[in-house]
Amino acid sequence: MVRKNRLPIFPDDYIEDKAEEYDSSKWMERNQKRSTLISVEYLFDERLNDIEDIGTEMGESSLILDLGCGTGYSSEVLIQNGFRVVGVDILNDMLSKAREKKKISKELKKLELILADINNLPIRNNSVDYIISISSYNFIIHGLENYGEKVKLLNNTGKNLNNFLKNKGRVVIEFYPKDDNELKIFNKSFINNGFEGFVVKNKPKQKSGQTFLLLKKRM
């Protein structure tokens, strides 16, 4: 099971029996749901507003992609906050837990779930209002050691997410970069591909740990 004192190992900590352990962990549920609530607040952070954006708020018609939705903790919070949710994950063992919850929960009946890689999503361009990712965005570069390969993959991902979003669509990425250099390449993958925004760290002087990217699609 993923412990409080170490970062998870991908995909080992999320497959087979580990997926069951993850889904039954009360600590993990609290942590993921708390991070999702913070991220929802950041979606509407005033610092992202242009003058015409003042008063922007969520509504039941807002469609949000939950990238790396796992067993559905984050998707559940998003639905409770009025979003229409499409949950995406690359690991079937995790997504199967979300499917089980959907079968027995009236609240989750309208949750759409997609088993797919983030760069091969069956999503129409300009169709999504918001995108959120909780504790999983690091895993995009899993297995890549070469700096150039990491930059290329992250740039492709940034372009794809920009294409999915409607005009001025917003993104919040909650993740755990290992250091400032890794944070920089993740941030630049958005800024260089049609986004503007800023970084919020859980602890401002930290070199790693919980980090939020608050982003908006540029005109």
Rounded mean pLDDT, 2-8: 58
pLDDT of residue 57: 57
**How many Cβ atoms from other residues are within 10 Å of residue 75's Cβ?**
29
Q: If you ran DSSP here, which 8-state letter would residue 77 be given?
A: H
pLDDT of residue 173: 98
Q: How confident is the model at residue 1 (pLDDT cuts 50, 70, 90)?
A: very low
Q: How far apart are the first and last CA of the chain?
A: 43
In the chain, what are the domain boundaries? 12-217
| Span 35-86, pLDDT tens digits | 999 999 999 999 898 755 645 555 557 999 999 999 999 999 999 999 999 9
123 closest CA partner among 78, 59, 64: 64
Better-predicted residue by pLDDT, 2 or 36: 36
Q: How confident is the model at residue 158 (pLDDT cuts 50, 70, 90)?
A: very high
Report phi then psi at 17, rounded to 5: -65, -30
pLDDT of residue 202: 76
* The residue type at 145: E
Superfamily of domain 12-217: Vaccinia Virus protein VP39 (3.40.50.150)
Structure tokens at 31: 């942590």
